[in-house]
Amino acid sequence: MQYELIAKRYAKPLIDMCDQSALENLSELLNGVAESFKNEKLIRIMNSGDVKSEAKTQLILDMVAPAKSQTVNNLIKLLAENGRLPLIPALAAELKREIARSKRMYKGRIYSDSAIDQASVDAIARDLGNKVGATIALEYVPAQYDGIRVEVDELNVEINFSKSRLNAQLVEHILKAI
């Protein structure tokens, strides 16, 4: 959570100064570097007090060297100066979210204990996207849930349909009718 707030501070100027194409290229590049942060050896190097800051910076600069971008190099150097190289994965995620938000394309998940075929998942995504005016891609996730739950985090959308809740409401309705 702490990294996300700081990442937003770095992402805002990047979003303001780059056009959509450059921003997408930057995001893709930073996502590649962020993937490297999943490597245990790199994490140890970044967290090591024995490795000098200059060596850490050069390691990341070598990763982004194929891009031949002064903007990217300056960003890496700025992060290094402030001791924030571990912020790169959060910054990459923030840029990805902002690009999705600008294109109105969001990802979500469908949870259920029953298997849901891809055609149904696509239909739910299409219908939900029409309701909110966006393009939504949903992924089916098997879970111990006695109904269906759809979540799209970026839109703060959660839709639940629970068998037990339906039964409880049905019983309540019958009792009120009596």
Q: Are residues 118 and 163 in the same domain?
A: yes
Q: Are residues 139 and 111 in the same domain?
A: yes
CATH number (domain holding residue 15): 1.10.520.20
Which residues contact residue 15 at a Cβ distance below 8 angstroms, ignoring those fewer than 6 apart?
A: 23, 95, 98
Whether 1 shows a pLDDT value over 70: the answer reads: no
Residue 57, Cα to own-chain centre: how many angstroms?
25
What is the H or E stretch that residue 125 is in? helix 118-132
* pLDDT digits 0-9 by tens, 56-82: 999 999 999 888 888 889 999 999 999
- pTM (2 d.p.): 0.73
* pLDDT digits 0-9 by tens, 140-172: 999 888 888 899 988 888 888 887 777 788 888
In Å, how far are 3, 71, 99, 104, 172 from 19, measured between CA atoms? 25, 13, 11, 17, 56
Domain with 71 in it: 2-100
User: How many whole angstroms separate alpha carbon 126 and alpha carbon 137?
Assistant: 8
